[in-house]
Amino acid sequence: MNASLRVAALFVVFHAPATADDKKPAPKREMVKAIIDVKFVYEEKKPPVLVVTARGAVPTGGWKEPQLALQKFEKPPADGVYEFLMTAIAPDGPATQAIQEVKASYRWENPPMGLKGLKVSGVGEGAKSVMFEDEKK
């Protein structure tokens, strides 16, 4: 096989389009182990925006993309407390063996009128709540 034909063959092998088998699955999000605190800021704009920020603890270094996700609900909670889950992507290799802190925010445009508080959940008992009337004192 002449040299130019070998180069062309190698080009095709290394630049062939990826197949479904070549694609990596999306990294799995895991619940943060404990919630340290929850804070909020109410931005009075049109429409109003509630910015929720939570800090959580994870068991090792290397966790990335922490995120707060508002739980889906069919009808508003009777107590007016809306729940968020805090997740992050765990390291996929070696990581420092020390508890680390992660932080995530969620911008909630035009939150409901009956909103009285927020609960951010992690694993098991790892949850924190903040009630709006507590913050006014």
**pTM of the predicted protein model:** 0.76
Q: What is the structure's pLDDT at 23?
A: 75
Q: What is the pLDDT of residues 34-64, one digit of tens each?
A: 999 999 998 988 899 999 999 999 999 999 9
Q: What is the structure's pLDDT at 133?
A: 75
Domain map (residue ranges) of the chain: 25-135
Helix then strand then coil, in percent of the chain rounded to 5, is 10, 45, 45
Confidence band for 7, pLDDT divided at 50, 70 and 90 = very low
Q: What is the pLDDT of residues 84-136, one digit of tens each?
A: 999 999 998 889 999 999 999 999 999 998 999 999 999 877 899 999 875 54
Q: What is the DSSP letter of 94?
A: -
Q: What is the structure's pLDDT at 26?
A: 80
Higher per-residue confidence, 19 vs 72:
72
Higher per-residue confidence, 98 vs 21:
98
Rounded CA gap, 132 and 39, in Å?
10
In the block, tokens 């070696």 appear at 94
Q: Which helix (H) or strand (E) holds 133?
A: helix 132-135
